[in-house]
Amino acid sequence: MKKSKLFGSLVLTASLFLAACGNGGTTADSSAAESSSTVAAEPTTVKIGLVSESAVEIWEAVAERLADENIELEIVKFTDYNQPNIALDNGELDLNAFQHVAFLENYNANNDADLTPIGFTFVSPLGIYSNNYTEYSEIQDGDTIAIPNDVTNGGRALLLLQAIDLITLDNATGTTPTVGDIVENPKNLNIEELDAAQLPRSLEDAGAAVINTNFAVDAGLVPTEDALYLDTDNIQEVLDIYKNVVAARAEDVDNEVYKKVVAAYQTEETKALIAETTANTDIPAWD
In the structure, what pLDDT confidence band is assigned to residue 236 with cuts at 50, 70 and 90? low
- Specify the pLDDT at position 9: 36
Share of the chain above pLDDT 70, in %: 85
Which of helix, strand or coil describes residue 48? strand
pLDDT at 20: 37
Category of 216 on φ-ψ map: left (φ > 0), alpha (ψ -120 to 50) or beta: alpha
Q: How confident is the model at residue 280 (pLDDT cuts 50, 70, 90)?
A: confident
- Structure confidence by residue, pLDDT tens digits, 76-135: 999 989 899 999 999 999 999 999 999 999 999 999 999 999 999 999 899 999 999 999
Q: What is the pLDDT of residue 287?
A: 79
pLDDT band at 24 (very low <50, low <70, confident <90, very high): very low
* pLDDT value for 252: 98
Q: Does an H or E element contain 282, and which?
A: none
Pairing of strands 144-148, 190-194: parallel
Average pLDDT in the chain: 87
Range 181-205 average pLDDT: 97
pLDDT at 26: 42
What backbone torsions phi and psi does residue 144 show, to the nearest 5 degrees? Answer: -90, 130
Which CATH code is given to the segment(s) 126-237?
3.40.190.10
Tell me, what's the pLDDT at 40? 58
**What are phi and psi for residue 257, nearest 5 degrees?**
-65, -45
pLDDT at 173 over 90: no
Strand ranges inside 9-150, DSSP E: 44-51, 71-78, 95-100, 115-123, 126-129, 144-148
**Alpha carbons 1 and 39: distance in angstroms, whole number:** 14
Q: Who has greater pLDDT, 233 or 227?
A: 227
pLDDT score for 11? 36
pLDDT for position 174: 80
- Note the pLDDT of residue 227: 97
- Please give the residue that has the higher pLDDT: either 165 or 19: 165
What is the SS3 assignment for 158-174?
A: HHHHHHCCCCEECHHHC
Angle at 77 (CA atoms; ends 217, 196), nearest 5 degrees = 50
Of the pLDDT bands very low, low, confident and very high (cuts 50, 70, 90), residue 286 is very high
CA distances from 222 to 64, 143, 230 (A): 27, 23, 11
Task: Give 127-170 pLDDT, tens digit per residue.
Answer: 999 999 999 999 999 999 999 999 989 999 999 999 999 999 99
Is the pLDDT confidence value at 10 over 80? no
Q: At what angle do helices 53-67 and 256-265 cross, to 10 degrees?
A: 120
What backbone phi and psi angles, to 5 degrees, belong to 161? -65, -35
Do the first three CATH levels of 44-124+241-284 and 126-237 match, i.e. the same topology? yes
For the chain, which residues make up each domain, given as ranges?
44-124+241-284, 126-237
Tell me the fold of 44-124+241-284: D-Maltodextrin-Binding Protein; domain 2 (3.40.190)
For residues 52 and 261, which has the higher predicted lDDT (pLDDT)?
A: 261
pLDDT score, position 38: 46
pLDDT at 220: 93
Flag whether pLDDT at 12 surpasses 60.
Answer: no
Q: Is the pLDDT of residue 214 over 50?
A: yes
| Buried residues in 221-241 as b, exposed as e (16+ CB within 10 A) | bebeebbbbbbbeeeeebeeb
CA-closest candidate to residue 52, choices 202, 204, 213, 267: 213
Pairing of strands 44-51, 95-100: parallel
